[in-house]
Amino acid sequence: MSQERLQQSQSAGGPHHFLSQLVGAWEGVARTWFEPDTVADESPITGTIRGVLDGRFVVHEYTSAMGGKPLSGMATLGYHLDGGHFTMVWVDTFHVGTDILNSVGTPGVSDRFSVLGSYFTGEQSPRWGWRTDIEVRGPDSLLITHFNIQPGEDAQKAIEIQYRRRS
């Protein structure tokens, strides 16, 4: 990867520029669904997103709760210039257990963050899908939505984080 390609990607409208817009200190609410149309939990969330490795990646670290019990997590997000897609790895203390969820976006899509991964649900069960979408809703507002995808079924909203920039 050339430095010139990275600089171009970091320019306005480029995928690394999109990632740079996520950088900051955030707070808001996290909602969790286990069944469609029924919010199982709504908890405060705080997070920071910081650029690392000369803007090649951003790291999202957060703390929240589920059912009154603390949880924390971390995700590293990037854009693979050679592959032409967004990518993410995610770990936390509630959703992924001791696994590392690796997700990849659709090649050629560089104007919106949407990645898809899968996770293990048991020896006799096929892997389930997990999609993560991030929408910049203005300079001080982010929406992060995670979708659970049971094999053969439509995606169902699992987590929604509505962030506002901390001052």
Contact 62, 73 (CB under 8 A): yes
- The closest alpha carbon to 134, from 42, 20, 56, belongs to 20
pTM of the full predicted structure? Answer: 0.92
> Which residues lie below 8 Å from residue 79, measured CB to CB, with a gap of 6+?
9, 15, 16, 18, 19, 85, 86, 87, 110
* Neighbour-count burial of 113, counting CB atoms closer than 10 A to its CB (0-12 exposed, 13-18 middle, 19+ buried): buried
Would you place residue 24 in the very low, low, confident or very high pLDDT band (cuts 50, 70, 90)?
Answer: very high
How many CB atoms sit inside 10 A of residue 128's CB? Answer: 15
**Among positive and negative, which fits the CA dihedral 117, 60, 58, 160?**
positive
How is residue 105 written in tokens? 């976006």
Task: Locate 74 and state its tokens.
Answer: 């971390």
The boundaries of the domain holding residue 18 are 3-165
Rounded Cα distance between 151 and 79, Å, is: 27
Residue 1: per-residue pLDDT: 55
Q: How confident is the model at residue 69 (pLDDT cuts 50, 70, 90)?
A: very high
Instruction: Give the pLDDT of residue 141.
Output: 95
pLDDT of residue 167: 80
Residue 111 sits in a domain whose CATH number is: 2.40.128.20
Q: How confident is the model at residue 9 (pLDDT cuts 50, 70, 90)?
A: confident
Helices then strands, counting H and E runs in the chain, come out as 2, 10
Give the chain's domain count: 1
- List pLDDT tens digits, range 75-113: 999 999 999 999 999 999 987 778 899 999 988 766 789
